[in-house]
Every structure is written in C-alpha cells, then in structure tokens.
Amino acid sequence: MSSDGQAEPTRKAAAEPAVGIDFGTTNAAVGIFERGRVRLVPNAEGTLTTPSVVAFTADGPPLVGAAALRQAVTNPEHTIRSVKLRLGTDWSHEHDGRRYSAEEVAALVLKRLHADVREHVGSDIGTAVLTVPAYFSHVQRRALEEAARMADIEVARIVSEPTATAIAHGLHRAQEERSLVFDLGGGTFDVSLVEIGAGVCEVKATAGDNHLGGDNWDQDVVDYFVALLRDEHGLDISRDPTALARLREAAETARIDLSAATAAHVYLPCLARVGDGFAHVDVMLTRDELETITQTTLERCRGPFERVLRDGALRASEIDHVILVGGAARMPAVGGLVQKLSGKPPFRTISEGVVTGAALQAAGLTGQVKNLRLRDVIPASVGVEQVGGLYLPVIQRNTTIPTRRSQLLTTAVDNQTSVSVLVVESEEDRAGRDDAIALAKLDITGLAPAPAFAHRIDVAFDVDPGGTLRVTATDLGTGRSESRVIDRATARAAAQARRPIAVDGGPAFDNLPIVTTTVAYPLGIEIAGGRFREVITAHKSVPVRETVLVTNELDSQDALTVHVVEDGGFFVPGGTFRGVGRFELTGLAATGARTARVEIVLAVDRRRQLTIHARDLGNGREHTERVDLATTFQEPISLGPAASATNLPVVF
C-alpha cells in the first residue's frame, strides 16, 4: 500500500517477470530476463528442460515431464508425447471416463512450467512470449494460446522458433546479416531467411514441414527393427504397444548417440514372447546404417530449404550464415545436407537459442531491452473460396506482419440474397483440395434481390504482430457485417459446414461470392506447333480488351482454327492449360503462306464473360463467340504436336 492507502498495481506488475517459453515437441524450457541477461528456469528436478510428456495413471493426478517419461514403457497407452503436433485438431485422449483435448494436455505441461517460474522468482508470469514452428497454421497458433490461458499464462506475442533463434544469435550485431535458420526439432521442421542487425530482426521468407522431425528418424529405426524381427523370428510386434514403446525409446537413444559416436549398441532383452521363449534385440547399429535407413526422411528437408530461397529471391551464396537449431539438427547427416545445399559450413547455435530469443523478445515488449524490433511474416497464404472452387489468395505467404488487406467480392447469380465467405488457408489454386484448411465461414444475409454482380461485399483480413488473424465481411450496400477471429472453433465450424456437401468433389456452397475485378490467369491462343501465345496477362483489371494479329502458316491454308486457352500452370489438375473456346474461321483471303491478316480480339467484362472475335481484314469475314470463364475450370487440356489442331495460325 502507498502512504495514502491506495494499492500499487504497477509495482506488482513490475515484479511479475517477462519470460520466453519454448514449448517443444520433445522438451520445453522457460527463460527469464534478469539483470541484463536471459537465465533458464530450472524445474523441480533441477534440470533446465522439461520433457513435453504427460501420463495419466490409475491413481493420482496426471504426471508431467520426467516422471511421465520414466513410466512410458509400462504405460504406453496413456502416455502422451508430441502433443504440440496435435494442437488445433480434433484429437483427444480418454482416461477414466474423461476426454482431454490436445489443448488441455498441453496446458498440463505449461502449468508445470508456470509452477517452476513461481518457485524460481516467487510470482506469476507477467509478459509471456511463446514460440511455435514457423509453419504453424493460424489455428495451431491460437490453440497454443488457448492452452496457455488454461495454464493462467497470458500470451503477449507468438514468435516463430527460427525467428527467436535469430534474435538470440544476432541481436547485438552492428552490421546487418542474412541468416538462414534451419530448425529441425523433435516433430517439426522450419527454414527461415532472416535479416538481423542493429536491433532489427526481419523475416524475409519461411517454409517448412509440420510433420517432419526427429520422431520421423526414430520411426524409421523402429520400422527397421520391426522388419528385422519379422524376418529373423517370424514375429510381428507392430501391434504390441509395450514392445513398440521400448523400441522407440531405444531408437531415440541410438539416434542421439550416433550424433557423436560411429556405432551404438541397441540391446533389448525379452522384447516379445516367441513360442516358449523370448525374442531379443542385440544389434550394433552404425552411423552409416542409420543414414541408409533414414535417407528418404533426410531428403524431405531439401524441398523447404530450396523453397525459402526462391521465396526470398536469394542464391545460397548470398547468405552470410546458416544456423542449425533443434536436437535433430545435431545429426551429422543433417549438417552434411545443409552444407551441400548452402555451400558453406553451418553454425550450430546454443541449444537454448529458441527460449533465449523468446525471453529477449518478452524483455523488448516490457522495455527492458531497448530498440528491439521484430518484423515477422505470415507463414501461409490466406484467402477466400469463390464460385467454381477457385481459391483467391488475399494475403500471400511471407507478407510482413502486421498487415491489412481487403478484397471486393460480389454475387454470382441473379437474386442472390446471401453470401457465404469461406476463409481458406492454402497455397493451391483450388480451395477444394484436401490440403486446404477452412478457417472460418462468414454469412452475409438479407441482401436485396438484384441481378448478379450488383452487390459489393468487402472482405478485410487483419493480421496483428502476433499473427492473430481477424476477417471481417461487410455488405457495402446495407452496412451489414460479420467478423471472426480465427481459432480452432471457427475452423471446426467451417470444416463441418463444408464437408457434407463438398465430399463428392462438388461445390461446397451454392451462395459463394465471386471476384470480378481481375482476370485470374493468362488468356491466349494456341499457335502453330502447339505453342501458347498470351493475349491477356494474369491479374489484368476488367473490363479488358486485347488484340493479336495472326496469319496463315501454309500456302494451301484457307481456314484458321481459333483456339482460346487459359494458362493455369501447375494449378490445373492433370495438366497446364484449360480449354476455353474453339472455332474455325473459313474462306481466308490468302494467296500463299503468311498472306492473310486476321485480327483476334479477346474481351472480358465485369461478369467474367469472355467475348472471342475473329475478323479477316482482307475480306471482312468474322466470327464471334461468348464464354463464361466460370465454366472452364474442369477442362484440362494439353498443347503440343500430338494434341495440336490443324490450321493453327502464326503471329503476324
């Protein structure tokens, strides 16, 4: 109390520490900023990391950390590992008549970390910065926040793990450097391209795989021994949870040992019963054998590494440092692959780099660290689904946050009285594909009956510095609006509404909106030799009208085939092009090869109606056709000599 009897809330807030929490797939750690540096908080066992493991037992409360790990072999069915990878999903675990969600299990680990902080500093956590894999979706990030709230932890910011590592690595560097952070943990893999120096950390691009980590290497080794037992003893232990738990533990130990040694002894006596006796595992596993067994898994690291360089528009030679992070990154084969891809030896950062960076960011938010500025990016593109299943990205991946983008949509049919705005996270062209994630469904109702394209629906996407996404849809005519903050509840509701109708591959809703402001993909004509000649470029504002002048290729040619196609690239299932329209213009005014002059006009109006007009400038013959571009999505075709039509033109 102050001298006048009033409470002093600011003093209490100042006593609550700013912490960084690295909630890893395998282990979790807490860092606290004290006296100008980050210190890791020890747990009740006196260690600086806590296994991210929870076990439900017959008696007593759930076990967390090392205690849960110690009994995992004898209680495999109720020991939960890698719960981080299940955040934001419908996964749950039932024990003693109660069902626990992934968020509730994760909260048990976070409660343990919170208790360790209380024991260490004597107060609750104040400002908390949590880390996630860079490629975690919006739903997964919000699910981690929900788990933290269950543990009485208020999250000030969510930071990606590679970004936190970069902060710890280069915060006080005077010169700006480009670093590529290669983060391979227990269950997730991220690659981030980061520029850092003079207190500014700016993420340029990120890529990754949320289902790749040390667990996959361990599973490869488990599969190897399961096959070995099947071949040598005719024994199948693939459905024996206790034997598999022992094998997994031995595989993880061997993998870790082989990061430093060239051979590891795997000895599992009495692993499973065979007839009147027992089958044993007694094998000397070499590093070369491990690398052979896991070669396919290692190669999965190549794609995200190469993609992040493409997205960042950099060559490997332009990178100053390559930083390895995560326990699985200690494997020599991983370091060898990174050096091969980058052309330079990687730098292995301190093992606590992620939690250190998170704690520094927390200290920056409270003013304890000055001039620390973080510019992160959105890891995956988000947008809306349109009529025909066409996905329209509104915010592209690797856009710096915070950011706000909007898109104007309209109705697609006459007398449409409602619009369902389906928010989707995807990198694919068609939102209906399996890897697209439905994030939310916003319904604008009460529209006055009107012709198609008469209404204007503004959809605004707002992403805050912590990565929280809010989507607001507003009918500009009536002012009616609906808003959603993306989380697991909105995603589940959108997926459930969409699934029953979309399961057969048809349209998910009959009142989806449409964009009429631009041409989605390049439009052009097929010319002699089966080649594509672009006439209207992608993203051209409509209405648009473009002309190309063509002629006949051969002496005997008295007709031209006008074949209009759309270049959808790799977005076209089973091909590259979509057929749009095709007809013959006959009776050419030609006296020999390349003497005819034919003008082809392509015009797209605001209703996405394409007008194709061909006119022979020599004799005035002409032909016109109209095509609704919304009908061309399901017509993949191939160009080239084998598929070419006759009488194709050449450009004049």
Interval 185-199: pLDDT, tens: 888 999 999 988 777
**440 membership: H or E segment, kind and range:** strand 437-444
Given the DSSP bridges, would you call strands 128-132 and 19-23 parallel, antiparallel or unpaired? parallel
% of the chain residues with pLDDT over 70? 90
Asked if 240 is an active-site residue, the reply is no
DSSP 541: B
Asked if 22 is an active-site residue, the reply is yes
How many CB atoms are closer than 10 A to CB 55? 23
Residue 547 has pLDDT above 80, yes or no: yes
**166 membership: H or E segment, kind and range:** helix 161-170
How sure is the predictor about 509, in pLDDT bands with cuts at 50, 70 and 90? low
Is the dihedral angle over the CA atoms 203, 205, 209, 215 positive or is it negative?
Answer: negative
How many CB atoms are closer than 10 A to CB 368? 17
Residue of 22, 352, 376, 462 marked catalytic:
22
How large is the average pLDDT for residues 477-498? 89
The two structure tokens encoding residue 507 = 């349209």
Residues 6+ apart with CB under 8 A from 633: 388, 389, 390, 430, 578
Residue of 103, 145, 146, 183 marked catalytic:
183
**How far apart (Å, rounded) are the C-alpha atoms in residues 189 and 325?**
10
How sure is the predictor about 497, in pLDDT bands with cuts at 50, 70 and 90? confident
Classify 599 as helix, strand or coil.
strand
Confidence (pLDDT) at 6: 40
Strand boundaries in 145-247, DSSP class E: 155-160, 177-184, 189-197, 200-209
Asked if the peptide bond before residue 543 counts as cis, ω within 30 degrees of 0, the response is yes
The pair phi, psi for residue 132, each rounded to 5°, is: -140, 160
Is the dihedral angle over the CA atoms 255, 259, 263, 267 positive or is it negative?
Answer: negative
pLDDT top residue among 632 and 46: 46
The two structure tokens encoding residue 296 = 């396919």
Strand boundaries in 465-522, DSSP class E: 469-475, 481-485
Evaluate whether 178 touches 320 at the Cβ level (below 8 Å): yes
Residue with tokens 């909106």: 513
CATH architecture for residues 382-502: Sandwich (2.60)
Residue of 84, 111, 204, 441 marked catalytic:
84
Residue of 146, 161, 195, 462 marked catalytic:
161
The two structure tokens encoding residue 452 = 């198609």
How large is the average pLDDT for residues 576-587? 90
Residue 570 has pLDDT above 70, yes or no: no
Given the DSSP bridges, would you call strands 577-586 and 457-463 parallel, antiparallel or unpaired? unpaired
Asked if 257 is an active-site residue, the reply is no
Would the pTM count as exceeding 0.85?
no
Q: Domain spans of the chain?
A: 11-212+302-375, 214-297, 382-502, 523-651
Confidence (pLDDT) at 573: 57
**Which among 247, 245, 253, 246 has a CA at the least distance from the CA of 224?**
247
Classify 628 as helix, strand or coil.
strand
For residue 341, the one-letter residue type is L
Confidence (pLDDT) at 389: 72
**How far apart (Å, rounded) are the C-alpha atoms in residues 210 and 224?**
23
**Which among 130, 167, 158 has a CA at the least distance from the CA of 349?**
167
- The lowest-confidence range among 31-40, 62-71, 156-165, 269-278 is 269-278
Residue 437 has pLDDT above 90, yes or no: no
Classify 297 as helix, strand or coil.
helix
pLDDT digits (tens, 9 = 90+) for 108-117: 999 999 999 9
Q: CA 345 from chain center: how many Å? A: 28
How sure is the predictor about 631, in pLDDT bands with cuts at 50, 70 and 90? low
Average pLDDT for the chain = 87
Sheet containing 523-527: order of strands: 531-536, 523-527, 559-567, 577-586, 636-637
**Which among 207, 177, 206 has a CA at the least distance from the CA of 318?**
177
**How far apart (Å, rounded) are the C-alpha atoms in residues 635 and 598?**
27
Asked whether this chain's domains 382-502 and 523-651 adopt the same fold, the reply is yes
The two structure tokens encoding residue 479 = 């002012």
Evaluate whether 280 touches 269 at the Cβ level (below 8 Å): yes
What residues form DSSP beta bridges with 603? 545, 611
In terms of phi and psi (left: phi > 0; alpha: psi -120 to 50; beta: otherwise), the region of 44 is alpha
Asked if 558 is an active-site residue, the reply is no
Confidence (pLDDT) at 330: 92
What CATH class has 523-651? mainly beta
**How far apart (Å, rounded) are the C-alpha atoms in residues 72 and 246?**
9
The CATH superfamily assigned to 214-297 is ATPase, substrate binding domain, subdomain 4 (3.90.640.10)
For residue 496, the one-letter residue type is Q
pLDDT digits (tens, 9 = 90+) for 10-60: 333 445 788 999 999 999 999 999 888 899 999 999 999 999 999 999 888
Confidence (pLDDT) at 352: 82
The pair phi, psi for residue 630, each rounded to 5°, is: -70, -15
Sheet containing 63-64: order of strands: 63-64, 54-55, 79-80
Strand boundaries in 275-412, DSSP class E: 277-286, 321-325, 347-348, 373-375, 382-385, 391-395, 403-409
**How far apart (Å, rounded) are the C-alpha atoms in residues 541 and 441?**
27
**CATH T-level topology, domain 11-212+302-375:** Nucleotidyltransferase; domain 5 (3.30.420)
**What is the full DSSP assignment across 72-122?**
TTT-GGGEE--GGGGTTSS-EEEETTEEEEHHHHHHHHHHHHHHHHHHHHS
Evaluate whether 380 touches 435 at the Cβ level (below 8 Å): no
Confidence (pLDDT) at 79: 95
Strand boundaries in 594-649, DSSP class E: 598-604, 609-616, 622-628, 636-637
Residue 423 has pLDDT above 90, yes or no: yes
**How far apart (Å, rounded) are the C-alpha atoms in residues 105 and 83?**
7
